[in-house]
Amino acid sequence: MARSRPMSPWTLFLSFVVLIACIVVPGVTVKHENFKTCQQSGFCKRNRALADNASAQGASWSSPYELDPATIHFKDGQLNGILIKTTSTHEKIRMPVTVSFLESGAARIIVDEEKRLKGDIEVRHDSKANKKRYDETEKWVIVGGLEVSKSAKLNAQTETGFTNILYGPEDKFQAIIRHAPFEVEFQRDGETHVQINHQGLLNMEHWRPKVEHKEGESPEEEGTWWEESFGGNTDSKPRGPESVGLDVTFPGYNHVFGIPEHADSLSLRETRLDPLPPCACIVANHDNRGGPGNHEQPYRLYNSDVFEYELNSPMTLYGAIPFMQAHRKDSTVGVFWLNAAETWIDIVKEAANSNPLSMSAHSKSNTKTHWFSEAGRIDLFVFLGPTPQDISKTYGQLTGYTQLPQHFAIAYHQCRWNYVTDEDVKEVDAKFDKYQIPYDVIWLDLEYTDDRKYFTWDPLTFPNPKGMQEKLDESERKLVVLIDPHIKNKDDYFVSQELKSKNLAVLNKDGEIYDGWCWPGSSNWVDCFNPASFPWWNSLHKFDRFKGSLSNLFIWNDMNEPSVFNGPETTMPKDNLHFGNWEHRDIHNVNGITLVNATYQAMLERKKGEVRRPFILTRSYYAGAQRMSAMWTGDNQATWDHLGASLPMVLTNGIAGFPFAGADVGGFFHNPDKDLLTRWYQAGIWYPFFRAHAHIDTRRREPYLISEPHRTIISQAIRLRYQLLPAWYTAFHEASVNGTPIVRPQYYVFPENEAGFAIDDQLYLGATGLLAKPVVTENTFTTTIYIADDEKYYDYFDFTVYQGAGKRHTVPAPEDKIPLLIQGGHIVPRRDRPRRSSALMRWDPYTLILTLNKKGEAEGSLYVDDGETFDYERGAYIHRQFQYRDSVLSSENLGTKGAKTAEYLKTMAGVTVERVVIIDPPKEWKDKSTVVIIEDGAKTGSIAVLEYYEQESGKAPYAVVKSPNVGIGKTWRIEF
């Protein structure tokens, strides 16, 4: 054995630095020990081991699941059969499978377990848990789109051992179902786009009785079958092991998006590469353990209260939408995993040429994904696109499109934990007016309540809540208050008394009311899976019960994961029982939206005869929450990195069908400096949900408190949001009818431009052509904006021209400027008169901004309604299509006449277009001074003034039509 040389002082110093780096992890504040890794989650570890075993065996691996040909029955667009699982002991387990082909073009695969379906199992510990696999997720999530296609048919070319189904538009889609081993290949136009069980990782842990082994003889793999401990809590698992898993492969696809919520990039990363040595893995950024830029853990979906979450991580957060899209040049496909239990997703990308069976030459990679959930059944939807818009629409038909919110909800919200008195609220309200900063909503966090009892007011600090709300209403502003699902366990609290007496609380595994710890201390949780909870929860929101609340009060549902401070992983034990004797493990991820659903119903009609659109903010969410609420990204930090991360997080939520999303402007934890706060407001105006919020321990940071010049810069950013509210509301309307994101990533707008697929730091506002690139790094005064096409783009503020396809263009970004371009070919509606709140802009005139494309044309649209009621469903709205072509600007009706149309148009008769700005107009307009205006088909027109302005080199000229005064709800032409 060789003797080692003594260390030099320099080597000793380096060793000391490395040692400190291994012990101290700078900047990481999340308590990892409170949350499981895959290795600490029994079913995750087992499913990953299955994948490892399959990979190790390679071509010799065969899935033990076969579709029994004798059981196959196809009729009216639906295939039914029995999967046979052959165990290692040669036992045959029967599993009914249904493959449905839907009118929308989606396909659905459901696999269940025959014994559990029949209730032919025994549960342990005398548990009352339901014996079935949970099959009610769709009750909370699916609202349509399940119509089975009667035109789907068997393909006459089917080979022995396969069943082929033609379906979709013009029979362009095909499902090739292999019997043994079971596999489904989905094709579009003869090319494979999605493969199910291609890797053979289908896994449904069937029920089996517990075999008592002698001490020390229990097989290692059974270690977490029957019970599992974590964080001082033992999960009793009365039904034994019951996880489900499945692999989904996207051949020829390099990028996958979606599956929020994670603080990660838009384009999802790989999760299965070899780890680095133990110390190096800590010194390196934690997400690099699987290789540069990748993760070693799967993406986890298990709604959790994660304190000061970290970035670039697959770690679970507050929401879960198991909807993934795969994208390559000119093709988008997707899958939706309808399961409410804890879920993990592995992602591996493989060079396409390493797979001789790959049928695609369009991409360098095949993306292999592996999905596994702790309980429930396999319920998978497959979407074949081919465009991102097709995916959004088809998915939205299933889970519902985003709500069309009240108009105030898309304006600026001012919040902190906490405004301490009703006088404090009124003073903040007055200060916004004094400094001429618009806002629409002020929020009250926890401390407004009497001893943290919801539906009450602190009598000392909020003695006059009605007076406070009446003061806000003078400027048509709103109040939002916090109401959480945990109810203070106190005998003299009327809500607690009723919760218990009506048997509406969540129960523990022994069937007793579950007691946990949250903000009020000892707490019980309302069980919104119980239908009887809805009328009760509804009654609590009525004006006569929530005393002191008025019609301009709205609701914030927080902590609804649910957050339980003394529970395992800061949530409820998995063996708690909900209505129907479903275990909490079955329903965890959908738990949050059951509360939101109840609150939505409660807020629809608080006073008989006055139906208004609810506004609700939720922290926990699942697919379908978009129908009822907005969301935000939770307890972020006042750092530049968290500012930067907010953009891909909001964009991801948008493409996953929940576009009404935002992040706490300024950061929830800690105190941002003036530069960070200013840049955050400039970014925050591009969140669909635009709210400033801060922790109780932070300094006050309302915009009017910030010193100059930052106060003015922030005010200008907020005013820009208000100026563009017509464009925002139009984008919200579009999302509400076809599911398109409100703010859109680069790949969504240019699906053919490969260089833009992973870009997630710039965004487009709806279909307006507005392209924003917020500054999210410190001491940055220029930025680069990627332009995919060869249209001209114009600086929104000074009309500087940028042009050049497939290039990054350097754009000035001094601290008082937001990098914002408009693509040629658009007409953007806006309102230019500053007001204190958005409601006070209701009767203001419009300005139209035109940018001409290469053909000299432009188009745009405007949607407007009363912003409050559901009268738009009966025609009370204006929807106009603006077009500029052949030297004529026209406004045509896109609306459909209804019972309320005439009445609404009458109220809007005085609202006009006061100005039209044309950027980069034809040069011959220099010699023009007037335009002709023809309204509602009149034979003769009126004249309006046209002024032409030249600018210095590099900036486009522009022309202004002054006072055309055409009605915003009328048909008209302006002839140049």
Q: Residue 525's Cα: distance from chain center in Å?
A: 25
385 closest CA partner among 679, 567, 188, 618 = 188
Alpha-carbon span 479 to 469, nearest angstrom: 7
CB 299 within 8 A of CB 256: no
Alpha-carbon span 328 to 333, nearest angstrom: 9
Give the burial class of 75: count Cβ atoms within 10 A of its Cβ; 0-12 exposed, 13-18 middle, 19 or more buried.
exposed
In sequence order, which residues have a C-beta less than 8 Å from that of residue 382 and are 6 or more positions away?
106, 107, 108, 109, 186, 194, 196, 333, 334, 335
Alpha-carbon span 922 to 933, nearest angstrom: 19
Alpha-carbon span 883 to 825, nearest angstrom: 10
Alpha-carbon span 484 to 516, nearest angstrom: 14
CB 475 within 8 A of CB 434: no
DSSP letter string over 617-646? EESSEETTGGGT-EEE--S-BSSHHHHHHH
| Structure tokens, 36 | 């499981």
| Structure tokens, 332 | 């988008």
Alpha-carbon span 465 to 375, nearest angstrom: 46
Alpha-carbon span 386 to 248, nearest angstrom: 18
194 closest CA partner among 292, 335, 53 = 335
Q: What is the dihedral of CA 801, 807, 811, 815, to 10 degrees?
A: 150
User: How many other C-beta atoms lie within 10 A of the C-beta of residue 277?
Assistant: 9
Alpha-carbon span 692 to 668, nearest angstrom: 9
Give, in order, the Cα–Cα distances in Å from 659 to each of 593, 704, 765, 968: 16, 29, 12, 28
Give, in order, the Cα–Cα distances in Å from 276 to each of 35, 279, 286, 880, 886: 22, 8, 11, 58, 64
* DSSP summary character for residue 393: H
Q: Residue 69's Cα: distance from chain center in Å?
A: 41
CB 427 within 8 A of CB 857: no
Alpha-carbon span 772 to 336, nearest angstrom: 30
| Structure tokens, 79 | 């295939």
Alpha-carbon span 865 to 462, nearest angstrom: 35
Strand partners, 821: 771, 795
Alpha-carbon span 976 to 957, nearest angstrom: 16
| Structure tokens, 852 | 């001409």
Alpha-carbon span 4 to 875, nearest angstrom: 86
Residue type, 269: R
Enzyme catalytic residues: 558, 561, 635
CB 760 within 8 A of CB 778: no
